[in-house]
Each structure stands twice: as C-alpha cells, then as structure tokens.
Structure 1
C-alpha cells in the first residue's frame, strides 16, 4: 500500500489521537502566528512613531541665519524641522493688548512701537507648546512649510477678541524700525494658557500680543538682519544624532554652536514598542523549539506503541524511509488544518492582542504605561497577511519533519525480527 494512503488510513483509525495532535498543533500555530503578527505590528508602529515622534535636536548659534538653518534641514537624517526667528513689530489699524496695571515710575512710557512679539516659524506643529497640547488652535490652522512665501499669521485669542478678528481677516503689521508695513492674512487663532502677569509688563511681553508668521514675513518685519533664535530638527532615532552633528559642522563650522538632543519622547514611546517587537521575535523561537520538542516526544511514544505494526511492514519488504515518511505525512496532514484554523483565530483576535501589547483603543501610540502628551502616531494595526500564514505553515511543516525524522532514526537501526520481538 502506498505510504501516503496508509497515513490517511492510520489517521482515520486513530481519531482521538488525531484530534489531540490537531489541538496541540493548533495551539502551537496560533501562538506562532500571534508572534509574527505582533512583531509586524510593532515594526509598523515603530516606523510610524519614528516619523511622528522621533528625536528632536535643538541647534542654537549666535548669528544663525534662516538660510543656514534651512540648509541643515535638508540633510539626510532630518525628516522634519522648524526654526524660530523672533522679531519685534507693531500694529497698524488694530490695537495690541496693554497691561492693565499702572506702569511703575522710571521705566519710561511706551512710545507705541514694538508692541507685538512676532515669531517667524516654518511649522507651528513642532513648537513645544503646540506639540504637547498646552497651546491649542481654537480656529483655523497653524503655519506649515507650504506657507513659505505667503504673508499669513496665527494670532492669540485675546488679541482677536479685542479687535473682533476672525480667520480670513487681514492685518497690517509694521516693522520695528517703521520702514516696512506688511499685510498678513489670519489663518488661525490659538489659545495660550499663560495668564496675564500680576505686575506691569511691556506690551510685547504679554502672551496675547504673540503672533506666528512664516520666516520670510518675519524677515520683512525685522529691523536689520533677522537671525534664528533656535532651530529644531526631528530625526528618526538617537543613533542618527551623530550624523546630524557632522552635517551641522559642515554647514555651521566646527564648534561655536549649541547642539542638544532631546530623546525623552522617543524613549517613552518608541523604546517600549521595540521591546514588544523583540519579545515577539523571542516568542516565535521559543514556541518553535518547544513545539518541535513536544511533538517529537509524542511521535516517539507513538512509534513505540506501533512497533509491531512497523515490524510487520518491514517483514513484508516495506522500506524504512517510507515508514518514516508515513509518520511525517501523518503529522503534516494534521499541521496544515491547524494553520488554517490559526489564521481564522488570528483574524478575529489579532487586533485585540495588538491593542493589549501596543496600546489602547483611544488612538494613542504608546503602551498605557508609556504615554506622553505628544501624539500623532496611529493606533496599532494587526492584520493577517499571506506572508505571515506562509511563515507559520513553513515552521509547522519544519516541526513536523523534525519531530518525525529524529525519533524515526531509531527505526533505521532496527531489523524486523527485533521490532516484532520487542513488541511482544
């Protein structure tokens, strides 16, 4: 009889043992698939987190120009950057806020100039107050890189309320030296949580008199040459900071600049995700080795119980490799349905497992123990793909082969008479 048909007959005749073997394989395949799905989800979420969170590097240098900062922002490790060009300006046709407290004697009365604090930025989303949520947009949008070359502004809520301004209105802002006047369109209104000072404060230091404009607009409002107060560059991981430092030395010259790496958010959110991925990879190896060992022991016991059957077949002239092949086919025939059932289980329970390990249902990107105020990372997505199922099937078949061939080596050493004698 063909050993493949004989394997099918054996499985049908031993229904209880076949069911037990199927259950064991189902557990192994489900755990293997879970490990692969978790590993893939962690890799995707880590890539998203590196793009959205990354590591912020702050560069400061006396006399740093917007052109130098922009050139450094186009270097390889940087995927997002922002600059801050602070200038003083004044209002034309609208009234800035003023301190409600009496000006102390000897400070000199304000002459009506420089009452606005304008910041030329490339991306308000990278400003710490906005990225951490303490300062929020109440209407419109922030400044984006697409606003380069446009005269737009984001103003504080108190200034907007005092002058009945809304998104879409146009303001006229005069430079600090009074030589240039620029019309800017309000594209957003933000709320600064800072309260009014409890003591008299110059108008340009009041939180309500702060506005954000593109860098080119700030340069128009500057009295003289506008310089960058600080530039922030976002890179994917801390190990790329050294590469960015080398680029900074090329652009700014060696020494003479402050280079600070802030990787706290990266460690809080990305490192736990990396640990989950490492755990999932280790889990796959442990399950594969443990599965091969368990099934090997089960097959070894089955071979011992079927020694008389093996002796009869060998005495009838059956080749030894076919006997081993029969056991391999029996185990493999149980492994393949287990893979299909594991794929169905992974489709239904995979997302729940991903949420449990990689985050909650609220759209936050980090595990519950490692969430920070910064957001922007998508919730973990766990999906069963053909590649994952294929890897599980390959490992399952490999386990089938190992668990039958190694115990079957003993068959190659025996003769029909010894098998039949030992079986009595």
Structure 2
C-alpha cells in the first residue's frame, strides 16, 4: 500500500490524537503568524515614524550662504530642511510696534537704525522649534512652505496685525534696511508668539510683535550685504544617518569649519519603542519555531513507541524503513496545512487588536510625536498577506519535517524480530 494513503487512513483511525495534534499545530502557527504580523506592522510604523519625526540636525557655519544650505538639503538622506536668514527691515504703509517703556537716555533715535522689523527668511516655518513644539501657533492662514520659494508672501505676528488691522490676504510693504528697495508682501498667515512684551525698553526689532517670516529669497532681496544663514536644520530618518550627513557637510563646507548638532530626543521617545517591539516579534518567531519543533518531536517519539507493533508488522511485510519515516512526516504535514489556514483566519480577526495593544495605537488615533506637533505617527496596520502566510506554512512544514525525521532515525535501527507484537 502506498505510504501516503496509509498515512491518511492512520489519521482517520486515530481521530482524537489527530485532533490533539491539530490543536497543537494551530497554536504554534498562530503564534508564528502573530510574530510575523507584529514584525511587519512594526517595520511599517517605524518607516512612517522616520518620515514624520526623524532626527533634527542643526548646522551652523560662519558665512554659510543659502545656496550652500540648499546644496546640503538636496542630499538623499534629507527629508526636510530649513535655513534661517535673519534681517532687519523697515515698514511702508503700516506702523511697527514700539516699547511702552521710556527709552533710557532720551528719545533720540539712532541715525543708523537699520529698521524696526525683524524679518526671518525661512524655507519651512513648520521646522522652527517654537512652531514644531506648539508654543507658537498659526492663528489664521498658514506658515511658510517650500512651495513659497520665489513668492512675495509673509507671515506676521498677531499684535502687529491687530495694531494695523491686517488680515490674511492683505498686502504689506517692507523696505530694505538701506531704504533702496521696497517689496510688497501678501500676508498668508498670522501667528501668535506667547512671549510677553518686555517691561523695560527694547528697540522695536527686539519686540516679539515685530517679527515677520518670509521666504529666504525675499530676505535676500531685503538684505544690504552678503546674505548669511544663521543656522540650518535638516531632518533625516534616523541617528545612524547623521554620520553620512556629517561627511557630506564636510565635503561641501570644509572639514572642521562648522558646528554640527544632532537632536534625536523625539526619535528616541517614539521610534525606539517601535523597534523594540519588532525585535521582540523576531525573537518570538525563533522561540516558537524551536519550541514547536521540540514539542512535536517529543509527540512523534511517543507515537513511534506506541506504534512499534504496527512498525514491526510493516517491516515484516518488507516495507522500507524510509517509507515508515515518510508516513509519519506526511501525517504531521497533513495536519500542519489546515492549521496554517486556521491561524490565518485567527490573525485576520485578532491581529489588528494585538497590534494596537503592542504598538501604541489608541482607538485608531495617530500618536503625536514628542516635540513635533505637526508630525503624527499613523496607527499600526496589521495585514495578513499571502507572503506572510507562506512564511508560516514554510516554517510549519519545516517543523513537521524536523520533528519527524530526527525522531525517525530510531526507526532505522529497528529489526522486525526485535519489535514486540
């Protein structure tokens, strides 16, 4: 009789033991599938977190130009970047804020005062710390974005807007510090700085209400000399990429000629726990695979001992020993395949809930990144994909093969006459 057919008849004749073996295999395959699903979900969430949170690298250099900052910003590892170009400018057609406190030494203004407005040229205002941490917020309109390059737009402070009755869509005219150029700017946003007005006298450009944010190109146009970036912040995916960005900065800016600081606190707070879950899931897979092979191997050893009379009869009839081992392998494999299907069903029903519990999903709401108000990590997505089920099936069949072949070595030493009947 064909040993495959004989394996099917044996499973049918021993229904209770077959059911117990199936239950064990379902547990093993479900745990394996859970490990793979959790590992894949952690990898997807980690990639999303790297894009949204990332690591901030601040580069400072004397005489750093916007052009050099742009060249470094085009490096492959950089997701976003923001150079800051501070300028002082004057106002045309609207009135800047002034300090309510009396000015020390009289009221005579300096003849060389370059202007009462603190104009900050930026590429992406959302990367500025006051905005990203949420202490400074947009109350109307929007901030400066990379799409504003080449446009004459501005974001003004709430106090300046209130004093001059300005709103989003209005136009303000700003003149360069030397008075030679005047630029008309459309107000696209109004922001609120929580800093209180100083009680002591301060020059107008130091008052928080006189701050404006404009694209870098506008700040360069208002400048009176060589435009110099005070600092540039680059957002990369992970702390490990900082060394590569540093090497690129050395190539462009010169070795040892700049200050390079890495801020990965938000990354550590949000991304590393996700990585730990992924590592834990990988450990689960190995432990379950080894434990499953061990448990099933012990079960097969016990089955071989119980079925020694059956084996003796088959050997007496001239059955080859490798076919006896093959019969046991087929029996275990035949139970493994439906167990994989049941595990896939269980994973599709309960996988998302397990992923939410372990990866920090809160009722489907994104998890806000620490220190980055506008960056949100998407909730974990657990998907039962054919490739994942294929991995579980492959490991399950591998377990069945190992758990039958290794104990089956004992069958090779059997002799019909030595087996009791």
TM-score by length of 2: 0.94
Shift of 1:108: 4.3
Listed as ranges, the gaps of 5+ residues in structure 2 are: none
Partner of 1:27: 27
Q: CA separation in 2, counterparts of 1:91 and 1:281?
A: 62
Equivalent residues in 2 for 1:4-23 (5 A)? 4-23=4-23
3-state SS of paired residue (1:282): helix
3-state SS of paired residue (2:214): strand
Equivalent residues in 2 for 1:66-145 (5 A)? 66-106=66-106, 108-109=108-109, 114-145=115-146
3-state SS of paired residue (2:377): coil
Q: CA separation in 1, counterparts of 2:355 and 2:371?
A: 19
Aligned length: 417
Per-residue Cα deviation, 1:338-390 (whole angstroms, up to 9, x for no partner):
11111111112212222222222230167xxxx55553332221111111100
Q: CA separation in 1, counterparts of 2:140 and 2:386?
A: 45
Q: CA separation in 2, counterparts of 1:204 and 1:372?
A: 28
Q: CA separation in 2, counterparts of 1:135 and 1:31?
A: 47
Per-residue Cα deviation, 1:177-236 (whole angstroms, up to 9, x for no partner):
111110111112222222222322222112221111100000111122221010111222
Q: CA separation in 2, counterparts of 1:266 and 1:157?
A: 32
Shift of 1:330: 1.3
Q: CA separation in 2, counterparts of 1:20 and 1:191?
A: 67
3-state SS of paired residue (2:367): coil
Deviation larger for 180-189 or 134-143: 134-143
Equivalent residues in 2 for 1:240-389 (5 A)? 240-361=241-362, 362-364=365-367, 371-374=370-373, 375-389=375-389
Partner of 1:224: 225
Shift of 1:393: 0.4
The reply on whether 1:407 has 2:403 as its aligned counterpart is: no
Shift of 1:107: 7.1
Listed as ranges, the gaps of 5+ residues in structure 1 are: none
Q: CA separation in 2, counterparts of 1:388 and 1:92?
A: 65
Partner of 2:179: 178
Q: CA separation in 1, counterparts of 2:275 and 2:22?
A: 33
Q: CA separation in 2, counterparts of 1:161 and 1:347?
A: 56
Partner of 1:42: 42
Q: Is the contact made by 1:365 and 1:379 (CA closer than 8 Å) also made in structure 2?
A: no
Shift of 1:110: 7.0
The reply on whether 1:396 has 2:402 as its aligned counterpart is: no
Q: CA separation in 1, counterparts of 2:229 and 2:137?
A: 24
Partner of 1:233: 234
Q: CA separation in 1, counterparts of 2:206 and 2:195?
A: 11
Once superposed, what is the RMSD of the aligned Cα atoms? 1.9
3-state SS of paired residue (1:299): helix
Q: Is the contact made by 1:269 and 1:372 (CA closer than 8 Å) also made in structure 2?
A: no
Q: CA 1:2 to 1:372, structure 2 compared with 1: closer, same or farther past 3 Å?
A: farther
3-state SS of paired residue (1:117): strand
TM-score by length of 1: 0.93
Deviation larger for 104-113 or 122-131: 104-113
Q: CA separation in 2, counterparts of 1:398 and 1:325?
A: 14
Partner of 2:208: 207
Q: Is the contact made by 2:89 and 2:222 (CA closer than 8 Å) also made in structure 1?
A: yes
